[in-house]
Amino acid sequence: MALTETNIVNAFETTLAAQLASGGTTMNLTDDPGVAAPAYFVIAPDSDSARDSKHGTDPTHASGTTVRLAVVKQHIEDTHDRINDIALTGDVTGTLASATQDIATTIAADAVESGMLNDNVISGQTELASGLALTDEFLISDAGTLKRGDVSILADAIDGTGLAANSGVLDVDLNALSDATVNVAADSIAIIDADDNSSKKETIADLVDAINGAGIDASSGTLVNAAIGKQSIWIPATAMYPTASNGCADIASVETTAGRPDLKVLDFDASSDENAQFSIAMPSYWNEGTITYQVYWTTAATDTDGVAWSLSGVCVSDNDTIDVAFGTAVVVTDDALGAAEDLCVTAESGAVTLGGTPAAGDLAYFNIERDVSDANDDMTEDARLIGIKIFYTVDDVHEA
């Protein structure tokens, strides 16, 4: 039924000038009501069975039937009678029966579109500030289909390398990480900094530097026993012996002053090259490399003349012949200090390569010589050998 506003005047009554057939849309009146269309006419207003408006379809009205205009009671009653049951269709459905005031509506499935949602559809809700549980739910678009899921399934979806989902909780899983070659100088590890209790990273090299204690050295991210490296061994003249050929004098005891240190020395004269020998069972943790040495000596002279010493050596292994040539001798020179019985210590020599094939547990033979043919050796007195210090390098701290 279309919505139209009817013109209303005070009571007017006339009759049909001609029959109004059922379904008719126009009618002829005996008298002019004096109002312009649209107007509301009631045909046969006093008949409960035949009363009709001009829009009615039944019944047929004979000529002379009473027609009344704007009778308020009948106007309202006929308007009420003209409102049939209302039905809503489309995305929202519902029915209004003529005997009720309310329309029970239903929103069709998939009818709510994104544009129908206000921007505050989430922010307008009560905030969950804490207490998020694994069983709490959220909405998600599953490849375009709206679904629900609980918080626990997130862990399974985001557990990447180094993480594992455990009953909805992410755990660190170091076993899932790939193997790597450690670069101690550049690689880092995770730490908790006690200064501010925050997570930070630190290079392995810095960590190693921080934990090297007494007896331990750090080198490029590696811990090294401080004993590993250059070591020394003292060989006194009393551990030496003159060689069978061109040997120095036998070991002598020289008193400085009674009650003071006595000297145990081997005297090497200035007229010819003289020699002494000794042997050392080298430790198994020696790296079998070159050695260096210093000579401790003195003289009875009060001048500053020079002397030249040389050292050579050879290694002999189990079941090797001892009748073998020494390696190349290396010379170190020094000058007297101008006072008798002053201790003279040479500079450290250059590298001495031992003959043979050095191996762990070898017996090393050494030959110490005063090399009078060296240009620096111009001292005319005996050079008195007190002993020598040998420097060697170890790569372990334990005997094999």
pLDDT (tens digit per residue) in 55-95: 444 678 888 877 777 555 555 556 655 555 677 787 788 77
What is the rounded CA–CA span in Å between residue 391 and residue 282?
12
pTM passes above 0.85: no
DSSP code at position 369: E
Alpha carbon dihedral 11, 15, 17, 20, in 10-degree steps, equals 100
Phi-psi label, residue 17: left if phi above 0, alpha if psi -120 to 50, beta otherwise:
alpha
What is the rounded CA–CA span in Å between residue 76 and residue 308?
144
Asked if the model's pLDDT at residue 97 lies above 80, the reply is: no
Question: Which of the given ranges, 78-87, 219-228, 239-248, has the highest pLDDT on average?
Answer: 239-248
- Give pLDDT, residue 297: 98
- For residue 205, give the nearest of 227, 226, 223 by alpha carbon: 223
Domain 230-394: homologous superfamily in CATH: Galactose-binding domain-like (2.60.120.260)
Domain limits, CATH 2.60.120.260, in the chain: 230-394
| H-helix or E-strand spanning residue 76 | helix 72-82
- Give pLDDT, residue 57: 47
Residues belonging to the chain: 400
% of the chain exceeding 90 in pLDDT: 40
pLDDT level of residue 279 (50, 70, 90 thresholds): very high
Of the listed ranges 97-101, 174-178, 201-205, 208-212, the one predicted with least confidence: 97-101
Report the first-to-last Cα separation within the chain, whole angstroms: 114
- Give pLDDT, residue 100: 60
- Give pLDDT, residue 242: 98
